[in-house]
Chains A and B, each alone.
Chain A
């Protein structure tokens, strides 16, 4: 990409944050608070952890303001921070769970808590079951595949942008997505 890229308006806002404009930071926070938090929730599938990570993302954005250079799209930079934090957390969590399993001998680790979505009617119950299946299917994907699917599906990012966020080639992203969706097609084949 490089410096030839026309500045998107978010990058301009971030440059204003760099100049000490707090109002521009508030605008960026308003714009991306929900999408970053949702992306992180779908990545780590834990409400309190995703909120902590989202806080950390925006804190890092603010702390990096002095060194910010508008060499790429603002969202690429933002999601690179978010993905990096999520992947690190998942790696540490995996290590921790492996350690727990060793400590507990042959016992299985306790299932991760699922947000309480107590349904009041049958339809809502059916829906909750479906969502739970989707959640589990996504959670079972390898971390990088999961990140690619979430950015592709929910953030509507193009392959080139996903590649920049994940620091890999566009063809690698195509391959990641193709394999991820292949797995999901098998796991969710029964869903109408």
Chain B
């Protein structure tokens, strides 16, 4: 492989190799290279020293009252009107929602498949039949009217002739 220091490529491999976080395949490649490259070997040595030094920097544990202070700060936050309105209801409506959804499904099912559904269609069929009869009646009336209209000019012709 090309030298990461000289090419400035894969410098992250070199860093990760120094800290032992590089995957096995790449680490093997890097190990081969470091054996022959003095510059990279020097880099790895220095980086390991830095890594170990950083590991020595331990920090004090978090103060005991941290959570208490945080929750006090949270409680002191102004509550929005939505929260004020709906938060007290949350424990009530949360378990009710799935129950209500199930009830709604049952009601829809009952409405769609109940025998009443066929009963409700019966009057509508009767209405259709009634409409058809009325239409036939109206057509017959129209035909009658046309016939009468055809008759009317003939009568006019006769009167003009007589004059």
Contact = CB atoms under 8 A, between A and B. Distances in A.
A181 B60 contact: no
B24 interface: no
A174 B12 CA distance: 6
Contact of A185 (B47, B62, B66): B47
B127 interface: no
Given A54-B66, A188-B50, A159 B12 contact: yes
Interface stretch (A2-10, A58-66, A78-86): A58-66
Interface stretch (A34-42, A90-98, A103-111): A34-42
Given A54-B62, A59-B74, A184-B53, 5 more contacts: A59-B73, A130-B53, A181-B50, A184-B54, A185-B43
Contacts of B92: none
A53 B23 CA distance: 36
B139 interface: no
Contacts of B21: 156
Interface of A: 20, 29, 33-34, 37-38, 41-42, 47, 51, 54-55, 58-59, 62-63, 115, 127, 130-131, 133-135, 138, 149, 153-154, 156, 159, 174, 177-178, 181, 184-185, 188-189, 191-192
Given A20-B90, A178-B11, A134 B57 contact: yes
A185 B50 contact: yes
B61 interface: yes
A192 B62 contact: no
Interface string B68-98: 0110011001000000000100100000000
Contact of A42 (B15, B56, B57): B57
Main secondary structure of the interface of B (DSSP, over half): helix
B49 A191 contact: yes
A88 to B, nearest CB: 19
Consensus secondary structure, chain A interface: helix
Given A51-B66, A115-B60, A131-B56, A185 B46 contact: yes
A138 B54 CA distance: 9
Interface residues of B, number: 30
25 contacts: A20-B90, A33-B67, A34-B61, A34-B62, A37-B59, A42-B57, A47-B60, A54-B62, A130-B53, A134-B53, A134-B57, A135-B57, A138-B57, A153-B51, A159-B12, A177-B12, A178-B11, A181-B47, A184-B50, A185-B46, A185-B49, A185-B50, A188-B53, A191-B53, A192-B49
Contacts of B50: 181, 184-185, 188
B63 interface: yes
